[in-house]
Each structure stands twice: as structure tokens, then as C-alpha cells.
Amino acid sequence: MNRAIFKAGLLGAVALGLAMPAMAQRDPAYEAARENGSIGEKPDGYLGIVSGGDAQLQKLVSDINLKRKQVYTERASAEGSTVEQFAFTAGCNTIARTKPGEKYQAPDGSWKTRDSSPPVRDARCP
């Protein structure tokens, strides 16, 4: 991965990370799903369903992921990186900001519940 592109993606993802919680807080269903562990953050920058999930939860996650991809696409284009690079950096940052009790996906694909220690993140994360 080109270091300059990664750095640009990192800066944009940090800015995005500041905006994403504000967008999500508007949806009580999102907050409830995070709190009860139904959904979690993935290393690729998108939300995932931890287990089960009815049609309503699947629609919620799909809608949020579509919005994230749109933002990632716009920011990546503006910064000269790929959508995947930008999304990965955003995923690193979002997982780092999870709070104790929230779910996230570790690099090995397993779902973890955040405790007081730092989350297990991909070694390529800044």
C-alpha cells in the first residue's frame, strides 16, 4: 500500500469517524443494536451482524453500509486512494473507538466484545 495514499486515507477516515457517530446517533435502532451486541464493527469499515438478525436489522445494517460506502467513495476519490484502502482505515479507527461492551470483528474473523483493554486490530492499522 502506498504510504502517501494510506496517510491521506487515514486523515480522511479520522474526519469520517467524527461524522459517523453523529449520523448513527440519529437512529435509535442502531444504538439499541450496538448496545445489545446484535451488530458490530468490521475491519473493512462496515457494520456486520454478529448473530441472527431479522429482516429489519439486516435492512438497518445494509442502509448504514450503503451510506458508509458512498462516503468512502467520495473521500477516497478526493484523496487519491481506493475505496477499499479508505474503508480499511476507517474500520481501524472505528474499532479503536468502540466502547466496553460493544462488539467488533477481530482480524481472524471472530467477534469480540470490547473490554477495558485495547481491541484486537489488524497489524496494518495505524
Domain segments of the chain as ranges: 3-113
pLDDT digits (tens, 9 = 90+) for 29-86: 999 999 999 999 999 999 999 987 899 999 999 999 999 999 999 999 999 999 999 9
Helix, strand, coil tally for the chain in percent (to 5): 55, 10, 35
Determine the Cα–Cα distance for residues 119 and 95; give it in Å rounded to an integer. 7
pLDDT digits (tens, 9 = 90+) for 11-43: 554 545 544 544 555 789 999 999 999 999 999
